[in-house]
Structure 1
Amino acid sequence: MTVAALSAEAPAKQGFLSRLRQKMPVLIWLCALWLLAMVLVAIFADQLRPYPITKMDLGARMAEPGTPGHWLGTDDLGRDVLSRLMQSIRVSLVIAFGATILSAVVGTGLGFLAAQFRGWVENAVMALADFQAALPFLIMSLAVLAFFGTSMVLLVCLMGFYGWERYARIARGLAISASAQGYAGAVVQLGAKPSRVYLRHILPNVASTLIVSMTLTFPEIILMESGLSFLGLGVQPPQTSLGNMVGFGREYLTRAPWIMLAPSVVIVLTTLSISLLGDWLRDRLDPTIR
């Protein structure tokens, strides 16, 4: 890479870091702490759970929150709600994280492909993106899961196709813009392969925009998985997820509302925290807004 190109990239990286280091509002700190707590619960769920998720205590059926040994109460089979909630957080976050990464990789790869080859390749990718955007994803998911059955791998792959067209459009536009700038042209003149140009030079410069897009897709996938599990076509027993717990608890809403309330609060706070954090990142990283 030339000295001029390196000097042009250095201020951009310094500006990126300095914008992130700016004082965060208290609400954003709270969102970040909540998300950190959810990640820690997901990682150490096996160590933090007071009981196995399938352990039943029929003598403590529908125990109210605050009962010694069952701080969030129990369900109709005497299973500890706190233990099942921790496992549900792990499963839902694994599905949402895996699906978000898959969606971002597929969409960004297709966007870069369209930017590189243009012509009929670009038209095909954009037509496929338009088709995906017009497709009612929830109905398609219900049909696929009803026909092929449910499994964790299938659920992650299916959720991974949600929202990829956004990344494709964003990556294509940013890649075309970056290719027209001096640093990409300098790398090409030095004989770099297209894969190196996109992965080592263009991708780092458009990563901030893609990261913000991921923070917008992540809560949508959590809600999508919760909706499928609520309808009985998501995570299947004995495994549990947040949507699975909500769907199970709706039958006891009048007698034991805490069964449904606990996972519902986690879904709301987690999706709200990710959305607020993504909105803050957009304001920090987008120079046109500042």
Structure 2
Amino acid sequence: MAVRDALPAPLPTSGLSVIARRIARLPFAVSLATLWLALMVVVALGADLLLPYSITAFDLKARLSPPLFFGGTFAHPLGTDELGRDVLSRLIMSIRMSLLIALFGTLIAATLGTLLGILAAHFRRFVETLILMAIDFQASMPFMIIALSVLAFFGNSLPLFIGLMGFHSWERYARITRGLTLAANEQGYASAVRQLGAGPGRIYGRHVLPNIASTLIVSMTLTFPEIILLESGLSFLGLGVQPPLTSLGNMVGYGREYITRAPWIMLAPATVIVLTTLSISLLGDWVRDKLDPTLR
């Protein structure tokens, strides 16, 4: 009794320590990818608090100042651009903008494709044929051509641009959802719930959709980096996010003119694009391996 009383009480386990231990159990590459994505999320959510300068603040005296590791100063750790704007401040705001566009674009594509896939599997015949024709048309057209045409004809605004990104790859979700829903309708649990008198909304929302959600989540991890790269490409061409807003592709596009004199303007956002898309791809592959029962 005395010995037991003398033992120190176990220290309470904090939530952060539990998360840290779980990350440590992951494969090394997946752990690095998770930490990098967590850093990007923190930067995106806390961008207003992390900005050292305004993204439109000019300092012509410090024009094209090099980064700290190239002989620069602590005032501008990542250097400045051709107008003396702080590259770090613009990079922080660009991360928020690019992740915002990619997130909402992915959610729009997943929602639209899933809804159309369920409608095609439920109504069949004319509705299914119509949706499949739309899927084939979307898959046969290069999306970059569609995006260039829409932006050139309707002009550019942030809501239109996000909606356009959401139009990318919806056909992938529609095909997957239709196939999985047709398979689920042939299984016993869907038929049993239908015979008990459940309506289509309850059958698909409460029973079918949760069973196919893992495949759709994996598809979202593939679409997210694709939209980041697509947004970067359009912004690089000057058709994406417009000033005074900024994005990663926008920074790369403006920095290409100074690649020989001030490469840090382009290298900083380009590095973030590469690391973010690579991290999402690594994490998506790991999630697929965990959720796919055939790979266990």
Partner Cα separation in structure 1 for residue 85 and residue 121 of structure 2: 53
Tell whether 2:159 aligns with 1:157.
no
Deviation at 1:289, TM superposition (A): 2.3
Q: TM-score, length-normalised on structure 1?
A: 0.91
Partner Cα separation in structure 2 for residue 23 and residue 34 of structure 1: 16
Q: Which residue of 44, 55, 58 maps to 1:56?
A: 58
Partner of residue 16, structure 1: none
Partner of residue 46, structure 2: 44
Deviation at 1:202, TM superposition (A): 0.7
- Residues 47, 96 of structure 2: 8 Å contact kept: yes
Tell whether 2:151 aligns with 1:145.
yes
Once structures 1 and 2 are overlaid, which stretch shifts more, 67-76 or 252-261? Answer: 67-76
Partner Cα separation in structure 1 for residue 97 and residue 223 of structure 2: 17
- Residues 23, 31 of structure 2: 8 Å contact kept: no
Partner Cα separation in structure 1 for residue 252 and residue 228 of structure 2: 13
- Change in Cα spacing, 1:21 to 1:255, as seen in structure 2 (3 Å) is closer
Q: Secondary structure at the match of 1:142?
A: helix
Q: Secondary structure at the match of 1:275?
A: helix
CA deviation profile, 1:202-249 (whole Å, cap 9, x unmatched)? 111111000000000110000000000000010001110000000000
Q: TM-score, length-normalised on structure 2?
A: 0.90
- Change in Cα spacing, 1:42 to 1:196, as seen in structure 2 (3 Å) is same
Deviation at 1:23, TM superposition (A): 4.4
Tell whether 2:106 aligns with 1:104.
no
Q: Secondary structure at the match of 1:150?
A: coil
Partner of residue 16, structure 2: none
Partner Cα separation in structure 1 for residue 263 and residue 107 of structure 2: 34
Structure 1 stretches lacking a partner, 5+ long: 1-19
Give the alignment of 1:22-171 within 5 angstroms. 23-66=25-68, 67-171=73-177
- Change in Cα spacing, 1:218 to 1:237, as seen in structure 2 (3 Å) is same
How many residue pairs get aligned? The number is 271
Deviation at 1:146, TM superposition (A): 1.1
| AA partner of residue 199 (structure 2) | K
Partner Cα separation in structure 2 for residue 147 and residue 128 of structure 1: 22
- Change in Cα spacing, 1:25 to 1:38, as seen in structure 2 (3 Å) is same
Structure 2 stretches lacking a partner, 5+ long: 1-21
Partner Cα separation in structure 2 for residue 45 and residue 129 of structure 1: 38
Larger radius of gyration: 2
Q: Which residue of 185, 192, 195 maps to 2:198?
A: 192
Partner Cα separation in structure 1 for residue 44 and residue 212 of structure 2: 30
Once structures 1 and 2 are overlaid, which stretch shifts more, 240-249 or 172-181? Answer: 172-181
Partner Cα separation in structure 1 for residue 34 and residue 153 of structure 2: 39
Q: Which residue of 188, 192, 197 maps to 1:182?
A: 188
Partner Cα separation in structure 1 for residue 288 and residue 25 of structure 2: 15
- Residues 63, 84 of structure 2: 8 Å contact kept: yes
Partner Cα separation in structure 2 for residue 263 and residue 82 of structure 1: 10
% of aligned pairs identical? 66
Deviation at 1:160, TM superposition (A): 0.5
- Residues 67, 77 of structure 2: 8 Å contact kept: yes
Deviation at 1:69, TM superposition (A): 1.1
| AA partner of residue 32 (structure 1) | T
| AA partner of residue 38 (structure 1) | M
Partner Cα separation in structure 2 for residue 21 and residue 119 of structure 1: 48
- Residues 109, 170 of structure 2: 8 Å contact kept: yes
CA RMSD, Structure 1 to Structure 2 (Å) = 1.3
CA deviation profile, 1:107-164 (whole Å, cap 9, x unmatched)? 0000000110111211111111011001111011111111111111000110101000
Partner Cα separation in structure 1 for residue 99 and residue 105 of structure 2: 10
| AA partner of residue 253 (structure 1) | I
Q: Secondary structure at the match of 1:288?
A: helix
